[in-house]
Structure 1
Amino acid sequence: MPAPHMMGIYPAESIQEVAQSLPLDPLGPGAADLLAGDVEYRLHFLLQEAKKFMVHGKRSTLTPEDVEYAMEALNVEPVLVPPRPLPQAPFHAVPPSAGQNPQQQLYHEVDDEIDFATYLRDPLPAALGNSAGVKWKAHWLAVEGVQPAIPENPPPSSRAGPSRTPAPTTGSAALRQNAKTHLTTELQLYFSRLTAALVPPVSSLPHLPGNPPPGAESHSFPDAERHRIAALASVRSDAAVAGVLAYLVRWVAESINKTLVGATGTIGCLIDVVEAILDNEVIFVEPYLHQFLGPLLSILLTVPLGPHPPSSNQTPTPSELRSRAANVLTKLVSLYGKSYPGLVPRLLSTFTRALHSSPFPSPLGADYPPAGRYEGAVLGIGALGANTVRQVLWGEKGEKLEVINNLVGVLYPGDNRKGKTGLMKATFGALSLLVNPKPADWVTSAPSADDLAEYFGANVAKALEKRPWMASELARLHNEAAEEGGESMDED
């Protein structure tokens, strides 16, 4: 049965705004209209009582004092009581200027200068001091540069280290209060065990994925890995995931954003969860696509990615994480790119801006700018398909590779291994969508380094020295485009 339509002057939108500002569950349909009618009734009742005091005072104007007396008579606690009587601001005459008519006298109100220290020492009005209004309390923000550990001050920011690595909340602690009221006990238990198994403890990450612990047999998996594989299989195929899908998607997005500077193994486990959700064919994922895009773009474009400083045995590496995130993005675009025509242009615009942004100093104090953002942008462009690679990275004759050539010169100054950088690997991986597969009987016949340097730049030519098939194919594409351009000019 629909809620009755309330005809009043108090808007229901105000009720909605107040409800959203408080830690309450969303209002049901028609609840705001009913509450607005109740508020309007109480306001009318309060004003009716205030008019009685106005009539008894033999006045025709309703004053704030009448409203205050009405609230006291109705046993309603006043939040703010104005002083009585209301002060009248004095007006002072402005001295007339030269040429001004003396009869046109101007007046102005003088603003009082308030000493903040004196104002804080003054006692609060009785209504404010005894109500739930604003209260003042003094405390030290810092004493000789040290912040006191008191409840009024936020906790000091902790430095990232081996014992303080950010980790996502799992198990029953990952359930929000509203989820505990909306989900059945069975679904709550399923969600808690699922999240606890999908992200193993940090101590188990060096043995993942599938690496046996020290002293164990080579074919045995640790318990944490077996539980994670079983949980991923459940997310990938079970229909029961639909009951907790909204909470699972939100948990994955918040966990990725929280652990961008945490252990790379944790980020890799969360990427596997996103891929498993996309692989599930029995659940409806489309309403939650936009919640996946933000975390995937964060993994691709965040610099630095992983703990600071990075550990020597960091597995997987940030480059591997970006590559895996790009693969998941490729799957998402292939599944839903045609259904949502604006999806690929929006992603392409983001990656293009990141690729053409100016290099910035390393936040870790390195001598050269970080290259992870540009590597992730190229991986993202490659994930969108061959058309976007041709549009952004290649152009007509490979002239847009000049951007990559210049970035390599800036990001890797004085490095003799420029051809083995992550940016070059990502670039050639994206360009492989434009070239033909290498035949089995192909005989090495790469173009000269001078021609490649003339076509694409010295840094790209150096990187192509160990990639003869890629070099020959890129040179072929360049020459074919040049010949087509020459023929069109001859026809004109």
Structure 2
Amino acid sequence: MPAPQMMGIYPSDSISEVAHSLPIDPLGPGAADLLAGDVEYRLHLILQEAKKFMIHGKRATLLPEDVEYAMEALNVEPVLVPPRPLPIPSFQPVSVSSTSSSSHQAQQVYHTPDDEIDFAAYLKQPLPAGIASSAGVKWKAHWLAVEGVQPAIPENPAPGTSRAGPSRPQPASTSLRPQARAQLPQELQLYFTRLTTALVPPTPSAPETEPERHRLAALVSLRTDVAVAGILIYVIKWLSESIQKCLMAPTGTIGQLVDAVDAVLENEGLFVEPYMHQLLPPLLSIILTVPLGPHPPSSSSSSQPSPYDVRQRAAEVLGKIAEQYGKSYPGLIPRLVSTLTKALQSPPFPSPLGAAHPPAGRYEGAVLGLAALGSQAVKSGVWGKAGEGLSKIDELAGRLYIDGGKRKNPLIRATIKALSPLITAKPADVQAPQINMNEVTNAFGPYIANGLVKKGWTANELLRLRKEEMEEGEGGGEGMDMDTPRI
């Protein structure tokens, strides 16, 4: 009966040659094929283990050290036999005069001499046989630069490929990587390309135009199509990279990317939960990053949404994430509240653009983010203890806005809007009460009082809430003193 044919890469002839070189009995029929299959299996096992060390080392090249570590992990003793004796380096002594005053003898230092290679003579030598027999291989010299100017020749890259100075940030590439091309069918690759291209038009698009209709259709596809699940991991990665690269792009582009994130969250056929760690940092970057948008603003910025509106939109999406996954992850909302509260309580820093006053966008975004996370987040991060947080925000507004005065600045506007869940709604049949502006100013500060001039019900409710909390604090202190002797 003939030996079974083993399908593999490792040749059985190598096994036969090794067997002949060793003092063992001749191999039987088919033994070399079986041993070759076993050797190939063990090589696969070692290489798979070595690849793990390569990945943990964050490298794309497999090194001999990875193979050594893999064999050590698999408890395999490596047998290293060099093909030939390694050449022994020749050391040459160099006499060095002694610096010691007691000894005048010269000392010798040994070193390995470096061979000097004449480049002209090296080029005249014949090429190796393998290279000389191939077609089109030859030496050729060309100028990299002439007096600091790169000549426009085919050997040098085109001058327009890399420009010096700041350039306009663009969304991440809409093309898939080679690994994704190998894993995804051609239909999903085309779907990903068309979808990402339509979500962010190359130029600002007005309503009722063809690019805007394509963008709305792409948002509907993200919001309703189940086929997005096949490319979800690539869409999430594209959104994350695009937002990070477009923080100084036109605010309309940032808003379009936020709309795409919102559409992904609204799709009930997608399992987005494993990718929350990739969506939260870009949203927080939009909310807290300063400056946001192009600087200096271009002439077309008047038709773009303001940074305040973009931060408010990102805060709404952040609140939607907290609402959907806050119960599944009890630590999600507290960590978000802690991050936003630290940003709100951080001291003002100088403007990175050289402006006369510190940037206020971070504090506006922190208040908007806390408002989107719910009433408890507003009470702990914005209101504080008996309204102390409002006094700090009022003091902060005086430092951030030079022309604040009696004008309502965005920080005060966001703060008053965030406090609405803490107060009861005004009944329809009740008239707005009179406001004691001096009391409001003494309690919260002049900027908060200016923002509450036309909101009598809100001002009185905030004063009532502050008074109740102060009375509860005083009552709690008395109760503590009375209970202390019992303990």
Scaled by the length of structure 1, the TM-score of the pair is 0.71
CA deviation vs aligned residue, 1:343-399 (integer Å, no higher than 9, x gap): 223222221222122222223332211110110111112222211211122122101
Partner of 2:386: 397
AA aligned to 1:155 is S
Instruction: Return closer, same or farther for 1:244/1:472 CA change in 2, 3 Å cut-off.
Output: same
Partner of 1:469: 457
* C-alpha separation in 1, matches of 2:247 and 2:449: 34
AA aligned to 1:49 is P
Alignment of 1:362-373 (within 5 A): 362-373=351-362
| Structure 1, unpaired ranges of 5+ | 25-31, 54-63, 67-83, 103-107, 113-118, 132-136, 212-220
Structure number with greater Rg is 2
Offset at 1:156? 4.0
Partner of 1:80: none
Partner of 1:185: 186
Matched, 1:486 2:474: yes
* C-alpha separation in 2, matches of 1:376 and 1:242: 32
Offset at 1:334? 0.5
* C-alpha separation in 1, matches of 2:365 and 2:391: 18
Matched, 1:65 2:87: yes
Partner of 1:279: 266
* C-alpha separation in 1, matches of 2:118 and 2:285: 51
Partner of 1:12: 50
* C-alpha separation in 1, matches of 2:116 and 2:399: 56
Alignment of 1:55-134 (within 5 A): 64-65=86-87, 84-86=89-91, 95=100
Give the secondary structure class of the aligned counterpart of 1:266. Answer: helix
Whether the 8 Å contact between 1:374 and 1:423 is mirrored in structure 2 is yes
Alignment of 1:402-413 (within 5 A): 402-413=391-402
CA RMSD of aligned residues (A): 4.2
Whether the 8 Å contact between 2:144 and 2:150 is mirrored in structure 1 is no
Partner of 1:198: 199
More displaced 10-residue stretch of structure 1: 361-370 or 427-436: 361-370
* C-alpha separation in 1, matches of 2:283 and 2:326: 16
Scaled by the length of structure 2, the TM-score of the pair is 0.72
CA deviation vs aligned residue, 1:291-326 (integer Å, no higher than 9, x gap): 101110111011111112224514211110000000
Matched, 1:251 2:238: yes
CA deviation vs aligned residue, 1:137-185 (integer Å, no higher than 9, x gap): 9978996xx999975999344445xxxx433256xx4322222111101
CA deviation vs aligned residue, 1:209-264 (integer Å, no higher than 9, x gap): xx3xxxxxxxxx22222222221111111110000000000111111111111111
Partner of 2:228: 241
Alignment of 1:335-350 (within 5 A): 335-350=324-339
Q: In the alignment, which of 384, 400, 410 is matched to residue 373 of structure 2?
A: 384
Q: In the alignment, which of 393, 408, 429 is matched to residue 417 of structure 2?
A: 429
CA deviation vs aligned residue, 1:451-470 (integer Å, no higher than 9, x gap): 11221122222222132222
* C-alpha separation in 2, matches of 1:459 and 1:481: 22
Identity, % of aligned pairs? Answer: 44
Instruction: Return closer, same or farther for 1:88/1:186 CA change in 2, 3 Å cut-off.
Output: farther
* C-alpha separation in 2, matches of 1:263 and 1:111: 65
* C-alpha separation in 1, matches of 2:410 and 2:361: 8
Whether the 8 Å contact between 1:142 and 1:148 is mirrored in structure 2 is no
Give the secondary structure class of the aligned counterpart of 2:324. Answer: helix
Matched, 1:168 2:190: no
Whether the 8 Å contact between 1:264 and 1:317 is mirrored in structure 2 is yes
Instruction: Return closer, same or farther for 1:147/1:400 CA change in 2, 3 Å cut-off.
Output: farther
* C-alpha separation in 2, matches of 1:471 and 1:44: 83
* C-alpha separation in 1, matches of 2:200 and 2:177: 18
Q: In the alignment, which of 138, 151, 162 is matched to residue 155 of structure 1?
A: 162
Count how many residue pairs are aligned between Structure 1 and Structure 2.
Answer: 408
* C-alpha separation in 2, matches of 1:291 and 1:158: 30
Instruction: Return closer, same or farther for 1:483/1:193 CA change in 2, 3 Å cut-off.
Output: same
* C-alpha separation in 2, matches of 1:308 and 1:448: 42
Give the secondary structure class of the aligned counterpart of 2:279. Answer: helix
Matched, 1:290 2:277: yes
Instruction: Return closer, same or farther for 1:285/1:142 CA change in 2, 3 Å cut-off.
Output: farther
Whether the 8 Å contact between 2:413 and 2:451 is mirrored in structure 1 is no
* C-alpha separation in 2, matches of 1:22 and 1:427: 50
| Structure 2, unpaired ranges of 5+ | 1-40, 129-141, 482-487
Instruction: Return closer, same or farther for 1:484/1:10 CA change in 2, 3 Å cut-off.
Output: closer
Instruction: Return closer, same or farther for 1:86/1:140 CA change in 2, 3 Å cut-off.
Output: farther
* C-alpha separation in 1, matches of 2:92 and 2:49: 33
* C-alpha separation in 2, matches of 1:244 and 1:279: 16
Whether the 8 Å contact between 2:287 and 2:311 is mirrored in structure 1 is yes
Partner of 2:442: 454
Whether the 8 Å contact between 1:167 and 1:266 is mirrored in structure 2 is no
Offset at 1:336? 0.6
